[in-house]
Structure 1
Amino acid sequence: MSQAVEIGNTAIAMSPHDEFVAKIDYTVDRAQRALLALQKPEGYWHAPLEANAEMNAEFIIFNHFMDTVDVETEARLKKYLLDTQSPDGSWALYQGGEGYLSTTIESYFALKLTGMRAGDEPLAAARRWILSKGGIVNCGTLARFYLASMGQITWDATAALPVEISLFPNWFPFNIYELGSWARGTLMGLMMLQAARPEKKIDYQRGVLELYIEPPHFTKFKQPRGKKLLSLRSALNLADKALRFYDRHKIKSLRARALRHTEEWLLDHQEANGSWGGIEPCYLLSAMALKANGYRNDHPVLKRAIEASQELIWHFGDYDLYMPCVSVNWDTGLAARALLDSGLPGDHPAMKQTSQWLIDHQIFKKGDWSVKRPALEPGGWAFEFYNDCYPDVDDSAVILSIMADSKADDAAARERAIRTGANWVMGMQSKDGGFAAFDADNDSTWLNHLPLADVEAVTDPSCPDLTGRVLEMMGAVGYRTEHPVAKRAMEWLKKNQSPAGGWWGRWGINYIYGTFSALSGLRAIGVDINEPWIKRAVAWLKSKQNPDGGWGESPLSDKDPAWHGRGTSTASQTAWALIALIAGEEGISENAMHGAQWLSERQNDEDAWDERESTGNGFPNHFYLRYHMYPHYFPLMALGRFRKRLAETAPH
């Protein structure tokens, strides 16, 4: 049945199909204008990246350790902690999740450092919850180092990390380059910190003695145990005891040499802005380690480090959020991709400006990745403003895909950026055929059973979302299925497809994210989407659509297969599913129509979409991320691709 709509003063009859198309156009155009308005004058996009209360808590602890407390900032950090406490007194890893012990202990301690008392109701509720989980004795690895540095637990309670580990040669089964970049940078700071064993003196009223069930001198801190007596973790716990024995009987000359080596490594890895590794643990722990080993706050290295630590603060109305890192290149690449996919021409001034900004931020320095790929020429991009040591494949692949579809005032520089960038990305393919984030062949997953690795994610193996992203980039710059890198990547994806049909997502939640990335890449590189394995992925995705037409997936899917593809519908996850269906099918299915309708009906007054859920992944089961711009550019990207498919399939 046709309906009449007014355009100007003229009533025009529109069919339901035409009305739907007009609604999609209207939604896309609003979102596109709003996203363009958020572009910075320099050409980039930058939005908050939120993890959990642990970030604010650790920054408060850091400032007390470093003697850099700013009362006003601390009050704003405290406000966020109090606002995010759960009704049961705990702090969770993500909105609506269960309490997480280490985060809750660190948050409790941070609030005490701000001057709150144990009898204050927020702390009383937190303490009851902590004690019900066994108390401070059960806190995690990283929390123990912060607590030990402030004299709240003994240094013997921390995982044994003799600084001599830094001297292990690269051919040794356990050396720092077998760890993922985030674990490597954190480890170097932790080892140097533990070697000094600092204990910052604080008033006992600001301490956490009340979190002990037994008196501290009777409390035995133990490392996490394996599920079985004869397990790899249990065996590595014996190695932990051996390392403790060595630490008590260390060779002084070897210790001095290792300390010099670790210090030099940290100094060599300090970025231009004074930070380390691009992420919060490295920012804070490296500075703490140097201070513990004699550096003063007015030393140029520490002065720059302290200044850099401020860059992770995001100011909101009446509170401050401390971010795990700065996601500027990621936000810029995906925002630009969404604009291009929604019809903005590649020679639009905004796209030319973005391209030039990205060209200027390409990294031509050899970082840690070159240990495994010494002959490979650099050319990637980092996630952050400053992280030359750790460009990553994910950001680089997204950026190259938009560089291929946009223009720049300096055409020669753009061509060089694409050529060198694509060469670097493809050169980072692991021996198994897949791609990881920061390193190649970083797949010694047995290291996830080390006592220091209680988050079980200290390595950086190949994953489906990265492998799909690289295939999508290769398609954008002109490669097809016959290229050797593409062939090996496609075989890897085929081999690592789940029995149900989807793919796991390492850096997003979870199977919806992995499946979206894999199908997008396979389509872009030219795989026949009528092949059975592609159809199986599409069928799985359709089976997970919610009755309301959207898609969602809970972080619970990391631990429970029953939650794979299941959860409350969210804007970003619905967008991923819609993009995946467009990639995996020739026409437009009813599922895709319902997904597009879900998005078009939920655009908010800011011309974006509301989303409080964490849909990004840091460490599965242990650390989740909420990208504040995800519910803007991913829905725009999805509806832009959907609109294009509508036009392609419309009868002529």
Structure 2
Amino acid sequence: MLIKNLLYPNQDAIDTVVPLSASALEAAIELAKIQLLGLQNQQGFWVFELEADCTIPAEYILMMHYLDEIDPVLQSKIANFLRGQQNPDGSYPLYKGGAGDISCTIKVYYALKLAGDDILSPTLLMAGEWIRAQGGAAQANVFTRIMLAMFEQVPWRATPFLPVEIMLLPKWFPFHIDKVSYWSRTVMVPLSILCSYKVKARNPGKIGVSELFLIPPDQEKNYFSHVKTPLGKAILLLDRLGQRLESFIPDGIRRKATAKAHNWFMARLNGIDGLGAIFTAMVSAYEVMDYLGVPADDPQRQIARAAIDKLLVVKHDSAYCQPCVSPIWDTGLAALTLQEVDHQASDPQTQQALATALHWLAGKQLRDEPGDWQIQRPHLAGGGWAFQFGNSYYPDVDDTAVVAVAMLQAHDQIFAENIQRAGVWIAGMQSRNGGYGAFDADNTSYYLNQIPFADHGALLDPPTADVSGRCMMLLSQLVKQNPQYQAIIDKCIAYLRAQQENDGSWFGRWGTNYIYGTWSVLYGYEAAGIPRNDPGIQKAVIWLKSKQHSDGGWGEDNLSYHDASVRGEADTSTAFHTALAILALLSAGETQSPAVESGVQHLLKTQQADGFWHDDSFNAPGFPKFFYLKYHGYDKFFPLWALARYRNQRFVKVAEEMQHDGS
């Protein structure tokens, strides 16, 4: 706490705004920078743990028992992890500190029971009582009920109709896999085979969870009671009709559809990085390979399993499974952070780290590889980056914008072609409404969220404000060389103005939540040169300042995805949200603001002895309301980025101006 003592010799006054010491600020930046540099891989990338809720590690245990491929030591470590995540009321939440979720709790209960826990053990006893109090396991979501059907715990009528024949539907049909998001199609295609053939888990111990049901599963009639809307009920009627008529599907049609689905996901297996590079899709594909008789020693099957196991985080006495990994995203953001840190200093170590990182990123650009995005943009050349180490069919718009900006800021002609390709690709991925989705353009068939399979409400990848702000950040820096981008930028600005909330904030689809979204847009506005007295910017500034805590920090709970009245609010401050708020205010020209200064002081006070910060909270949604993530890097590089940018604007810029005036 050396920095804190330098700034606050009077401990009783730490919550007051006092003049900042430039030397103390510099010392804090240097300490965090050294630590961040120390975490860089020798190849040049950064990758931090990406933690999800307990459904993912629970599903890993379920997968082992589904296939009868059980590793007792690993299972024991995952079970130890799961036991430690339980809420005091016996439930399991979707994010730390959140309310219990019945589907997550059911999966953890089943996984721990498969791992050998007795139903009278404290963990299962409390979880079971909580599940029954919520109406029992019949209230689980669709994905959980499909798992229960494969383990023969519920009848298949408890699941939505997902026939493999969806692969044969024409593109004009109301449902087609090209009309849903990348993550949906990579999960649905192999899963449709498992559901069509009603594949059964091996479940060597024949362990079930009948004790979690209030009504025997075969007698339960309300598996779809959650469907409330007229459109949803109409689609459900067609779904139920389809199930009754399934037996009339000719065998030849089913074989043809199965072959097409198999060929589709096998072409996208993605080597050691796995189908879609996401856990749920990888597991479905691996289980289908087993069902179709691919032998255990087959090289493709072995690689598919290795891709799943690469997601494990194994420690001495516990383990969990990540939903995916984030090296491109982590490296791009770390590079932007270090560029801000080294804005004036040109430290050789930092410059070498940046050069290594950017060259590694350059080698990961997807150029002319096939991608599902080409369905919407068949004539658009490649040029994007994925989110993971490898995901050639699915480059990420957000990652591409961040990486290309980092390359632009390097001012090195060696990256000129990378940047040019990225700009063309980003410009071409704009949706008709002016915004940007994460992986697809115009992925907006909203009626599909009414199908029974989509009870998570995240079947699509529509444009969002946060991604759009970062795309504008890139294109605005390229427009001088490419004037044709101005029309695209103007259209994006119009979209963002329409997306601003009445209170001045913007929604954050890929980070928690309105503070994240507001930072993203204000960063893009700054790059686009929108005047800082713009009413939309000023409204956002007022909103951000109104959400600052008395300790100088900011925080936002994932509850804001469920209840918009608490947007921008949390019981405690986090380094992540404090950093985002500072960065957003700096983009809005609030360098001299007391709010910014007290936010910087909060970061200095909460910096740990190792130079980093520590937030327990989950800081991003996978799917808002249903699936949340914790990026373990966010409380490391975002606070450093904020401190460096503040220093550069408050101290370095002032010194430059004084020097200029003196000359």
Give your verdict on TM over 0.5.
yes
Offset, 1:346:
9.4
Structure 2 partner of 1:277: 276
3-state secondary structure, aligned to 1:601 = helix
Q: CA deviation at 1:217?
A: 2.8
1:623 maps to 627
Residue 52 in structure 1 maps to residue 43 in structure 2? no
Summarize the alignment of residues 380-395 of structure 1 with structure 2, pairs less than 5 Å apart: 380-395=384-399
State the distance in 2 between where 1:32 and 1:278 align: 30
2:586 equivalent among 582, 585, 610: 582
Q: What does the per-residue CA deviation read over 1:568-625, in whole Å, with 9 as the maximum and x for residues that have no partner?
A: 2111111111100000125421111111111111101221101000111111111111
Counterpart of 1:85 in structure 2: which amino acid? Q
Alignment of 1:563 with 2:569, yes or no, is no
CA distance in 1, matches of 2:167, 2:138: 28
| Structural mapping, 1:133-282, within 5 Å | 133-202=134-203, 206-220=207-221, 222-228=223-229, 231-273=230-272, 275-282=274-281
Superposition RMSD on alpha carbons, in Å? 1.9
**Residue 478 (structure 1) shift:** 5.2
The alignment partner of 2:313 has SS state of strand
Aligned to 1:10: none
Kept in 2, the 8 Å contact 1:509–1:615? The answer is yes
Deviation (angstroms), 1:474? 2.1
Q: In 2, are the aligned partners of 1:161 and 1:243 still within 8 Å (CA)?
A: no
User: What's the secondary structure of 2:384's corresponding residue?
Assistant: coil
Task: Compare 19-28 and 530-539 and name the one that shifted more.
Answer: 19-28
Match of residue 522, structure 1, among 513, 525, 544: 525
Q: What is the correspondence of 1:47-86 to structure 2 with a 5 Å cutoff?
A: 47-86=48-87
| Letter aligned with residue 231 of structure 2 | L
1:395-544 alignment runs, 5 A limit: 395-406=399-410, 411-412=413-414, 414-477=415-478, 479=480, 483-544=486-547
- Checking the alignment, whether the CA contact within 8 Å between 1:432 and 1:492 is kept in structure 2 is yes
Using the alignment, how far apart are the partners of 2:188 and 2:63 within structure 1? 17
Q: How does 1:368-387 map to 2 (within 5 A)?
A: 368-387=372-391
In structure 2, the CA distance between the partners of 1:152 and 1:226, relative to structure 1 (3 Å rule), is: closer
Corresponding residue number in structure 2 for 1:612: 616
CA distance 1:212–1:476, change in 2 (3 Å): same
Equivalent runs, 1:317-328 vs 2, <5 Å = 317-328=316-327
TM-fit CA distance, 1:293: 2.8
Give a deviation string over 1:551-584, Cα, whole Å, max 9, x none.
1111111121221111121111111111000001
Answer 1 or 2: higher relative contact order, Cα 8 Å, separation at least 6: 2
Deviations, residues 243-291 of structure 1 (Å, cap 9, x unaligned): 2123232122211111111000011111021610011111111111222
Residues 539 and 527 from structure 1, CA distance in 2 versus in 1: closer, same or farther, beyond 3 angstroms?
A: same
Distance 1:252 1:296 in 2: 25
Amino acid of the residue matched to residue 304 of structure 2? A
Which secondary structure does the structure 2 equivalent of 1:483 belong to? helix
Residue matched to 1:13: none
Residue of structure 1 equivalent to 2:295: 296
2:553 aligns to what? 550
- Which position in structure 2 is the counterpart of 1:598? 602
% of aligned pairs identical? 36
Is 2:66–2:203's contact at 8 Å kept on the other side of the alignment? no
- The alpha-carbon distance between structure 1 residues 21 and 43, as it changes in their structure 2 partners (threshold 3 A), is same
SS in 1 for 2:218: helix
SS in 1 for 2:629: strand
In the alignment, the residues of structure 1 paired with residue 47 and residue 273 of structure 2 have an alpha-carbon distance, to the nearest angstrom, of 20
Tell me which residue corresponds to 2:661. none
Aligned-residue offset at 1:203: 5.7
TM-score by length of 1: 0.94
Aligned to 1:108: 109
Partner in structure 1 of residue 10 of structure 2? none
Q: CA deviation at 1:482?
A: 7.1
- Once the two structures are superposed, residues 459-485 of structure 1 have per-residue CA deviations (whole angstroms, 9 ceiling, x without a partner) of 001000000011112234455897111
**Aligned partners of 1:200 and 1:392: how far apart in 2?**
34
Aligned residue for 1:20? Answer: 21
User: In structure 2, what is the Cα distance between the partners aligned to 1:470 and 1:613?
Assistant: 27
Write the distance in 1 (CA, Å) between the matches of 2:238 and 2:25: 60
Counterpart amino acid of 2:593?
S
2:273–2:391 Cα contact (<8 Å) kept: no
Partner of 1:639: 643
Aligned pairs, how many? Answer: 634
One-letter amino acid of the counterpart of residue 554, structure 2: W
Q: Aligned AA for 2:444?
A: D
In 1, the alpha carbon distance for the partners of 2:584 and 2:452 equals 39
- Aligned pair partner of 1:367 in 365, 371, 374: 371
